[in-house]
Amino acid sequence: MNIRGQAATTAAASAEGAAVGRARPLPRVSVRPPDARRLALRLAALLRRCAPPIAAGLAASIPVLASTINAVNANWVPAGDDGIIATRGWDVLSAHTPNVGQYSEAGLVIAHQIMHSPGPMLYWLIALPARFGSVTSIALTMGIANTLAIIGTVALARRRGGLGLMFAAAIGIALMCQSLPSESLHDIWNPAAGLFPFLLLIFLGWSVACGDVGLLPITALVASFVVQTHLMYGPPTAVVLGVAAVGLSGAWWRRRRLARRGQRGGRRAWPWALAALAVAAACWTPPAIDQIENSPGNLTLLVRTIEHRGPSLGSKIGWNAVVDSIGVPPWWLSVPATEWDRKYDVGALVRPGTTSASAPSAGANASATVILAALGVVAALGMLVLRWDVVGAAVIAFGMCGAIGAEAASNPTSPLLAGTLGYTMWWGSELGFFVWLVLAWALWLGLSTMLRPRVRRALHGRSWRTARRGRVAALGAASAACLGATIGAGVAVAGTQRADSHVYEYGPTRVLAAALARAIPSATTIDYLTLGRLPLGTQPMEPAIRFFLVRHGDRVLAPGSLRRLGAYYELYNRPYRWEVLLVNGPGRVHRMTLVARVRVSDGWGTQTLSAWVRRVPRTGAPRTSTLRP
């Protein structure tokens, strides 16, 4: 056979072999189970990473946990504005889900304007416990959310500055809780509900500014929640997100520069940015729907209120807010006599028993000036040594100082709205804590840089294994001591907590609500009213009883509900089957049946509240109650 014949035969044989090979099934490859030792090492490494921040975060959350447990043990009920919020939380899983947040009295600067907080995300948080489980599960949910926010803050502090910054943040958070009302640690009232999520947002924005692009979606979620909860978080949130955007732009620019050199510059930002945009779009869809459906929409009313707020308190009050937040002694290390003291501290109103408005001392003013200058120095030195994490923290702290000053200075001068500084300045505690933490961390970095050569000389001559063992032992002892200090601070703060302001109304409210539930069938329509204006001792019980009736399955109608609860609960000329009347005092109501009468004893004295009911004999035609005074 010639050479061509041999080549043809060989090619045919190869083709046949290939065809046969393709026709044969591939052999099964047995996958070996993961090595047990390797899996154990991975679990141990994960535990080493997660255990310290979780332990430190739980220790820092002891005041929150204690406050929540006390509320549950006291049979918490949503009294006052909490009753409105709980009712709107129940509405989330209904056909009339809210598109806006809690009613805001800031809209009073423009006559006949009904304005709300930007969005309903607070209602989303409590939607499930508002419908299912016990009523106390609402406060429990808020306490768990605040605890998770603290744990996340502590974990991010470790990510930014190691164990030292983590334990410093944990101890500081535990101490900061003493400056806040004990009730705010588990309260669903919107100024309180955003406090610890906002603290988490500060560290999220700082981390994003340092290039942690994977945190963009959770940052968008927390920022949306905080801003929608209350207007007071708008200015500081804008500062945090602005610094995060600038830092992220710098990280993107550095990545592009490294890519041109053929080097890898970290994870791509655009997938996480798209995810953050999707999260933000989902969070802000309800406010956008309200803006489209109504003219003017709630967002338009917010802008009008800011533009036409009228005379404001001025720069002096704004500077006082900055001084009280960061100056010596700062708000976050103080224990206020009442939860409303800050409107007096900044001089917005005259403290009862005095003739003139208070103002920070000369020492407090000087210390605040020094602290602001120190933040500027820290930012400048961080830029010189290319420590952009230090720069980002200092700029966020400095910007939030400006935000709280501008917020207090631009507050309207009317006594009603000036009094809101009593709670809109609560986030000044978190501002002061973060400013002091950043300065302490910067000082620690400077000292450690100077002492590092001396430590190396002291360890010179020792074996690597001996030096490592000594370092691990010292680190473990220091961590145990810091964790013990955090627990001690948390327990000490929890020991000074006061009872909820409405704790005296919890039991009587439940008695009246249970009696009404027995007297009135579920899934009915009720005309809900009070005989005159209830006194301060029993007034917070009215929205709480309304919430119990809503949970009972009833549609509770009342005149004037449009402002706070929406059109679904407004009486208008709608027919109803039952009338429920709350009466202050032991008097009798003609043609109605008394279902329960309770006595409430608190700081306002002893009050008596009675619940009376009557079934309307005929329905189907609009009618107006004859019992309304």
> 51-67, pLDDT tens digit by residue?
899 999 999 999 999 99
Distance CA 81, CA 184 (A): 13
> Can you tell me the distance from the alpha carbon of 409 to that of 320, in angstroms, rounded to the nearest whole number?
9
Asked if residue 185 has pLDDT above 70, the reply is yes
What's the CA gap between 391 and 442, in Å, rounded?
A: 10
Burial class (CB in 10 A: 0-12, 13-18, 19+), 560: exposed
Instruction: Kindly state whether residue 26 falls inside one of the protein's structural domains.
Output: no
* Residue-level pLDDT at 292: 94
Average confidence (pLDDT) over 387-406: 96
Asked whether residue 535 is assigned to any structural domain, the reply reads yes
Task: For residue 145, name the pLDDT band (cuts at 50, 70, 90).
Answer: very high
Q: What is the pLDDT of residue 20?
A: 45
Q: For the residues 460-473, what does the mean pLDDT come to?
A: 63
| Domains contained in the chain, number | 2
Residue 219 has which token pair?
A: 């940052």
Q: Please report, for residues 193, 202, 219, 301, 321, the alpha-carbon distance to residue 230 in angstroms, rounded to integers and kept in the order given.
A: 9, 16, 17, 15, 19
pLDDT of residue 618: 66
- Is the pLDDT assigned to residue 5 strictly greater than 60? no
Q: By residue range, what is the domain housing residue 491?
A: 47-459+482-495
Q: Which of 443, 469, 495 is the last residue of a domain?
A: 495
| Mean pLDDT within 326-346 | 94
In a domain, 227, yes or no: yes
| pLDDT at position 473 | 80
- Flag whether pLDDT at 251 surpasses 50: yes
Task: Identify whether residues 339 and 257 lie together within a single domain.
Answer: yes
Residue 1 domain-assigned (yes or no): no
Note whether residue 380 is domain-resident: yes
The answer to whether residue 463 scores a pLDDT higher than 60 is: no
Domain end residue (candidates: 468, 495, 522): 495
My answer on whether 512 and 603 are in the same domain is yes
**345 with 406, same domain?**
yes
In a domain, 396, yes or no: yes
Lowest mean pLDDT among 170-184, 548-562, 597-611: 597-611
Residues 121 and 233 in one domain: yes
User: Is residue 83 located within the same domain as residue 150?
Assistant: yes
Asked if residue 265 is part of any domain, the answer here is yes
- Tokens describing residue 149: 């926010």
Q: How confident is the model at residue 455 (pLDDT cuts 50, 70, 90)?
A: low
Residue with structure tokens 């974990």?
155
Question: 387-420 as b/e, with b when 16 or more CB fall inside 10 Å?
Answer: bbbbbbbbbbbbbbbebbbbbbbbbbeeeebbbb
Least confident of 72-86, 442-456, 465-479: 465-479
Amino acid present at 517: A
pLDDT at 28: 54
Domain shared by 426 and 525, yes or no? no
* CA–CA gap between residue 398 and residue 396 (Å, rounded): 6
Q: Same structural domain for residues 386 and 514?
A: no
- pLDDT higher than 50, residue 629: no
- Do 562 and 536 belong together in one domain? yes
Average pLDDT over residues 238-249: 94
The percent helix, strand, coil of the chain (3-state, each to 5) is: 65, 5, 30
> pLDDT at position 93, please?
93
Q: Identify whether residues 544 and 454 lie together within a single domain.
A: no
- Determine the Cα–Cα distance for residues 386 and 607; give it in Å rounded to an integer: 65
- Per the prediction, the chain carries an average pLDDT of 88
> Is there a domain that residue 28 lies in?
no
Whose CA is closest to 167, among 494, 495, 476, 497?
476
- Segment 25-52 shows an average pLDDT of 70
Residues 159 and 286 reside in one and the same domain: yes
Query: Which contacts of 342-345 are long-range, i.e. CB under 8 A and separated by 24 or more positions?
Result: 342/421, 342/422, 342/423, 342/425, 342/426, 342/428, 343/418, 343/419, 343/420, 343/421, 343/422, 343/425, 344/422, 345/320, 345/425
Query: Residue 22 — very low, low, confident or very high, per pLDDT cuts 50/70/90?
Result: very low
Identify whether residues 75 and 202 lie together within a single domain.
Answer: yes
In the structure, what pLDDT confidence band is assigned to residue 266 with cuts at 50, 70 and 90?
Answer: low
Q: DSSP of 469-489, one letter per residue?
A: HHHHHHHHHHHHHHHHHHHHH
pLDDT at 252 over 90: no
Residue that finishes a domain, picked among 467, 495, 523: 495
% of residues, the chain, pLDDT over 90: 69
For the cut 60, the answer to whether the pLDDT of residue 570 exceeds it is yes
Tell me, what's the pLDDT at 176?
Answer: 97
Burial 24-52 (b: 16+ CB within 10 A, else e): eeeeeeeeeeeeeeeeeeeeeeeeeeeeb
CB distance 147 to 300 below 8 Å = no
Same domain (yes/no): 158, 255: yes
Lowest-pLDDT choice from 42-46, 333-337, 403-407, 424-428: 42-46
Structure token digits, residue 581: 């009347």
